[in-house]
Amino acid sequence: MPDIFDTEFEGAAVTIEDNRIAKGEDINVTAKDPTLQRVHIGCGWDLNAFESDSLDLDVSCFLLDKDGKTREDEDFIFYNNPESCEGAVKHAGDSRTGAGEGDDESIILDLHGIPFDIIRVLFVITIYQANYKDQNIGMVRNAYIRLANVDTTHELLRYELKEELEDRTEAGVIVAALDREGPKWHFRTLGEPIPGGLVEAAENYGIVVGQS
């Protein structure tokens, strides 16, 4: 039986329709597309033109239970742990420059394979070594997250972060969440800054981060 993640997804070729949503919206994606099983979460960004040093942005996600915590370390999916323990969530790889058109990083989810005790998948964008490099999300422009059906390549939703990043000094942002409500999944846009970036987010959701 072929791996369900083997399908090549040409996200950049998808035509964008009137599917843009704003901060704070709640969309029932199961109702929007009843065929939805494999979800492509794509994120992209650009560096402000006046910034000389490139930013290494990362997309990560947390699989959370009813208490809003990860169950185990493998519920934290990021560049050093690209796959959940059940194999239902896979990170497509780390992009260190954000160069080029289309998605810079993406995560694929098999909604039918996510364990039932996971009720939220939270997506964050953070800057690698932001404090060390004196960088922040205010240096980013044209940032977005989008949700598409892997099997049809149809883009269902796109959330563009503009005011959420302007003049911000934090190291990251909680972008959005996929919430399970019985058999349905809802996509909620959040746009909440994370002062301490990925380390702070991980600790908030139950991951013990080792200090070197």
DSSP string covering 71-104: SSGGGEEBTTB-B-TTSSEEE----SS--SSS-S
**All domains of the chain in start order, with CATH:** 19-204 (2.60.60.30)
**H-helix or E-strand spanning residue 31:** helix 29-32
Q: Cα–Cα distance between 177 and 175 in angstroms, integer?
A: 7
Residue 16 pLDDT more than 60?
Answer: no
- More confident site: 5 or 175: 175
Backbone angles phi, psi at 120, to 5 degrees: -145, 135
Q: Cα–Cα distance between 206 and 73 in angstroms, integer?
A: 8
Q: Cα–Cα distance between 78 and 69 in angstroms, integer?
A: 16
DSSP 12: G
CA distances from 167 to 29, 71, 136, 137, 192 (A): 32, 35, 9, 8, 14
Res 10: pLDDT: 45
Closest alpha carbon to 120 in 23, 32, 21, 26? 26
Q: For residue 146, give every residue at least 6 positions away whose Cβ sits within 8 Å of its Cβ, in sequence order, or none.
A: 11, 41, 42, 43, 103, 155, 157, 158, 159
Query: pLDDT by residue (tens digit) across 126-174?
Result: 999 898 889 999 999 999 999 999 999 999 999 999 999 999 999 999 9
Q: Are 209 and 199 in contact (CB under 8 A)?
A: yes
Instruction: Using DSSP, state whether 174 is helix, strand or coil.
Output: strand
Query: pLDDT by residue (tens digit) across 89-129?
Result: 999 875 544 455 689 999 999 999 999 999 999 999 999 98
Backbone angles phi, psi at 56, to 5 degrees: -100, 95
The model's pTM:
0.88
Tokens 């949503």 -> residue:
21
CA distances from 76 to 49, 178, 203 (A): 32, 15, 11
Residue 210 pLDDT more than 80?
Answer: no
% helix / strand / coil in the chain, to the nearest 5?
Answer: 15, 40, 50
Residue 49 pLDDT more than 80?
Answer: no
Return mean pLDDT, the chain.
87
